[in-house]
């Protein structure tokens, strides 16, 4: 039996995310998700992209912890997360090592609003999603790949990427 959900973020209005602050907001969302354990591979609402979009839209992330050895953890948004009406209809990956799909025709309505709220394009977020989901079973390795991708998108150096990765070190 799964434990009760944990509410991790509680804000009222969408943030103003621009090309100038999108990187800082994305890193902030990922650091928070990592340390508060709302970052979950294979959960559209709580994966790397799910955390970045939830942060931009000021959505609460609710994590339901699975029982060890049976049901895995999964996440949703307090305001509701409909997978059939989300960013995941525009791009995603099939399985941990599966192929990525991009369905540009679905980039409209709610999915477009979610993606655009981040300041990133759907193609940029698709790169983030692929990095997070395709780096083996270790979530931390996928998370470090996400930092690399975000730094590459922003034109940051490998040295800067290394500094940002240090933000994820647990003491």
Q: What is the pTM of this model?
A: 0.84
| 4-23 per-position pLDDT tens digit | 333 333 344 677 888 899 99
Q: Exposed (0-12), middle (13-18) or buried (19+): which is 112, by Cβ within 10 Å?
A: middle
Per residue in 90-132, pLDDT (tens digit) is: 988 765 556 788 899 999 999 999 999 999 999 999 999 999 9
Mean model confidence pLDDT for the chain:
82
pLDDT of residue 61 exceeding 90: no
The pLDDT tens digits of the residues spanning 25-40 come to 999 999 999 999 889 8
Three-state secondary-structure class, residue 18: coil
What ranges in the chain are assigned the alpha helix state H?
Answer: 22-35, 48-56, 109-116, 122-133, 139-154, 158-165
């Amino acid at each position: 039996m799964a434990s009760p959900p944990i509410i991790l973020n509680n804000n009222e209005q969408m943030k103003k995310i621009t090309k100038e602050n999108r990187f800082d907001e994305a890193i902030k969302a990922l650091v928070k998700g990592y340390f508060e354990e709302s970052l979950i591979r294979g959960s559209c609402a709580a994966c790397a992209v799910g955390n970045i979009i939830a942060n931009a839209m000021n959505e609460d992330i609710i994590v339901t912890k699975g029982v060890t050895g049976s049901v895995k953890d999964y996440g949703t948004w307090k305001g509701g997360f409909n997978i059939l009406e989300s960013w995941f209809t525009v791009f995603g990956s099939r399985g941990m090592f599966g192929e990525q799909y991009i369905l540009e025709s679905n980039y409209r309505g709610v999915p477009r609003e979610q993606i655009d709220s981040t300041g990133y394009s759907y193609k940029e977020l698709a790169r983030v999603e692929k990095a997070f989901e395709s780096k083996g079973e270790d979530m931390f390795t996928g998370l470090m790949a996400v930092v690399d991708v975000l730094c590459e998108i922003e034109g940051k150096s490998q040295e800067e990427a290394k500094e940002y990765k240090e933000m994820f070190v647990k003491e």
